[in-house]
């Protein structure tokens, strides 16, 4: 007995499946031509928390801000204090901007942000504070994708991923152009879990960063548990090399001040405060720093932390005061 018969022609199938493809193909052409002829706005793919912060800081580094004190560093520098609060604790003629990022980009990328800022704000910069968590001094490699995102943003290029089939297809169909240039400007993306609860959406986080002069808050709460990380902190040789290259990005007349952000008291070993001072001394030496924030506490009570590397909101408020007190001594 026959199973089934096909009561249509091959051309019917072609029409049914073919016609719906016309619109996507047309859109792909429009997107590529729009991008090539610069009819579309520049790429600004604030599509998740990492890219929102990265792009905010890259944009902020290119704006006329007028800050004379600029912070650079890792996510602990981003999260451990509010630049706005800190400014309030400093003498009134100082303006502060935080250009640290959540996704760790290496020191050359930080130097790039600094160069942008100097170009956009000539003769303004007086102090550059480089704040890193001891975790980063081990010379952790940055995620190549983060560096690629930053570079593509500078180049005005769309975020195509040529390494996967779906990435190539997305690129070919103009989806990266559509998402990065248009959708990201009109459609806020919800953030997940605690970040979502605190900030809501990418655009709201972007607004928060602008209001806090580049700083953010880690909304988590640290709960000490075994096996949360390696506390054998040390300064890697790689960081020493990268540090001296960073120094060269400073404009003449600006001083470089370095500091190390705190760790939870219960997390580190008893000898850590001594190691902290040694690392700070070595780190400042290889950077040829003009000043060292040696009186910053190496540890704080656990209740002030969101994670092993970030302070929480209460911790950030406290740390802004401590940081301001320490920094005042270096401001001319």
Partner 1 sequence: MLFNSDTFLKFFGAFLLLFYLCRNDLRARNALIVAASYFFYGWWDYRLLSLLILTSLLDFFVGIGLERADLSRKRKALLCLSVAANLSLLGFFKYYDFFVESMAASLTRLDIPFHARTLNLILPVGISFYTFQSMSYIIDVYRRQISASRQLVNFLAYVSFFPQLVAGPIERAAHLLPQFDRTLTITRPMLEEGLWLILWGLFKKVVLADNLAPLVELVYQNPAGSGPMVVLGTVAFAFQIYCDFSGYSDIARGTARTLGFDILFNFNLPYVATSLREFWQRWHISLSTWLRDYLYISLGGNRQGSGRTYFNLLITMLLGGLWHGAAWNFVLWGLWHGGGLIVCRFWREWRGSRPGLPAIIAWPITLLFVLYGWLLFRAGSFEQICLLTGALGNWSTPAWLKSYLINLIVFTLPLVGMELWQAKAKHLLAPLALARWKLALLQGLLLLAIALFWEKDSTPFIYFQF
Q: Can you spell out the DSSP letters for 18-75?
A: HHHHHHHHHHHHHHHHHHHTT-SPPP----SHHHHHHHHHHHHHTS----SEEEEESH
**Least distance from C-beta 85 to partner 1, angstroms?**
18
Return residues touching partner 1 (CB under 8 A).
Answer: 1-8, 12-13, 15-17, 19-24, 27, 166, 173, 175, 178-179, 186-188, 190, 192-193, 196-197, 199-201, 203-204
Nearer to partner 1 among residue 3 and residue 230 (C-beta): 3
- What own/partner pairs with CB < 8 Å and gap ≥ 24 does 147-151 have? 147/105, 147/106, 147/109, 149/45, 149/50, 149/51, 149/54, 149/55, 150/54, 150/58, 150/105, 150/109, 150/112
Nearer to partner 1 among residue 24 and residue 41 (C-beta): 24
**Least distance from C-beta 313 to partner 1, angstroms?**
15
Nearer to partner 1 among residue 24 and residue 66 (C-beta): 24
**Least distance from C-beta 18 to partner 1, angstroms?**
9
**Least distance from C-beta 187 to partner 1, angstroms?**
6
Nearer to partner 1 among residue 89 and residue 198 (C-beta): 198
Nearer to partner 1 among residue 200 and residue 251 (C-beta): 200
Is residue 89 within 8 A of residue 118, CB to CB? The reply is: no
Residues 6+ away with beta carbon under 8 Å from 98: 70, 71, 77, 78, 81, 83, 212, 213, 214, 215
Which residues partner with 69 through β-bridges? Answer: 96, 127
**Least distance from C-beta 6 to partner 1, angstroms?**
5
**Least distance from C-beta 101 to partner 1, angstroms?**
22
Nearer to partner 1 among residue 16 and residue 36 (C-beta): 16
Query: How far is the C-alpha of 269 from the C-alpha of 5, rounded, in Å?
Result: 76
Which residues partner with 165 through β-bridges? Answer: none
């Amino acid at each position: 007995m026959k199973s089934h018969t096909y009561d249509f022609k091959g051309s019917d199938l072609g029409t049914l499946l073919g016609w719906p493809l016309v619109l996507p193909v047309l859109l792909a052409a429009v997107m590529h031509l729009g991008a090539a002829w610069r009819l579309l706005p520049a790429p600004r793919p604030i599509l998740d928390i990492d890219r929102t912060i990265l792009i905010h800081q890259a944009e902020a580094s290119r704006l006329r801000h007028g800050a004379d004190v600029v912070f650079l560093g890792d996510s602990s520098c981003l999260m451990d204090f509010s630049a706005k609060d800190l400014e309030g604790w400093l003498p009134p003629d100082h303006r502060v901007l935080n250009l640290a990022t959540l996704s760790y980009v290496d020191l050359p990328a930080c130097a790039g942000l600094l160069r942008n800022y100097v170009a956009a704000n000539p003769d303004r910069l007086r102090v550059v504070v480089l704040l890193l968590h001891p975790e980063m001094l081990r010379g952790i490699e940055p995620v190549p994708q983060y560096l690629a995102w930053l570079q593509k943003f500078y180049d005005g290029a769309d975020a195509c991923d040529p390494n996967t089939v779906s990435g190539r297809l997305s690129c070919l169909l103009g989806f990266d152009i559509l998402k990065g240039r248009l959708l990201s400007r009109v459609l806020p993306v919800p953030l997940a879990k605690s970040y979502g609860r605190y900030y809501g959406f990418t655009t709201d986080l972007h607004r928060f960063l602008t209001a806090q002069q580049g700083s953010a808050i880690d909304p988590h709460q640290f709960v000490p548990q075994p096996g949360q990380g390696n506390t054998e902190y040390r300064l890697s040789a790689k960081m020493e090399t990268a540090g001296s290259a960073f120094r060269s990005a400073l404009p003449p007349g600006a001083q470089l001040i370095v500091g190390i952000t705190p760790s939870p008291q219960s997390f580190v070993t008893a000898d850590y405060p001594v190691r902290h001072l040694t690392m700070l001394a070595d780190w400042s030496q290889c950077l040829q720093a003009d000043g060292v924030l040696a009186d910053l506490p190496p540890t704080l009570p656990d209740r002030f932390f969101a994670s092993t590397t970030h302070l929480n909101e209460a911790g950030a408020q406290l740390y802004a005061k401590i940081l301001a007190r320490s920094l005042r001594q270096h401001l001319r």
